[in-house]
């Protein structure tokens, strides 16, 4: 009896290219829509996030004015407004918890976290990435 050993090699799919280490890499478009986001849309999406530095009103105004210009601006504007509304609610809760002395720790931590996430979102939006804030931190009021 002879035994045959079937050695099957990993064959990359037609839309994949092998990387230098042998693992297949996807070569498809980076954007889900299959089109590159123009520079103006990326800039306004970034402004939607950075307008949150003045509060939820800043992000809301920029989003309402520019949402018709691009689906990317609309998506990132909704994300920025949802984040700002969520941070407003968390800030109110942290303020109320100051009466229990817990808010004095929560409020600065919330502010620092919000600032860091806002800057990350602005940078990602300017790079053309469809950024989503962490789902465990944000309440999606606007879908």
Question: Got the DSSP string for 41-94?
Answer: HHHHHHHHHHGGGG-HHHHHHHHHHHTTT-HHHHHHHHHHHHHHHHHHHHHHHH
The domain locations on the chain are 38-143
| CA–CA dist 86, 19 (Å, integer) | 42
- Residue 79's contacts (CB-CB under 8 Å, 6 or more residues apart) are 49, 121, 131, 132, 133
Say what the pLDDT of residue 12 is. Answer: 44
Q: Averaged over 8-24, what is the pLDDT?
A: 43
Checking if the pLDDT of 62 tops 60, the result is: yes
Checking if the pLDDT of 4 tops 80, the result is: no
């Amino acid at each position: 009896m002879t035994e045959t050993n079937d050695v099957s090699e990993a064959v990359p799919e037609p839309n994949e290219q092998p990387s230098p280490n042998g693992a297949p890499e996807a070569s498809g478009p980076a954007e889900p829509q299959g089109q590159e986001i123009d520079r103006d849309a990326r800039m306004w999406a970034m402004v939607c996030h950075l307008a949150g530095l003045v509060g939820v009103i800043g992000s809301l105004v920029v989003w309402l004015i520019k949402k018709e210009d691009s689906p990317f601006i609309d998506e990132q504007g909704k994300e920025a407004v949802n984040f700002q509304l969520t941070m407003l609610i968390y800030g109110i809760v942290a303020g109320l918890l100051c009466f229990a002395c817990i808010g004095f720790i929560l409020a600065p931590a919330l502010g620092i976290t919000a600032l860091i996430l806002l800057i990350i979102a602005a940078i990602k939006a300017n790079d053309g990435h469809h950024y989503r804030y962490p789902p465990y931190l944000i309440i999606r009021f606007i879908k």
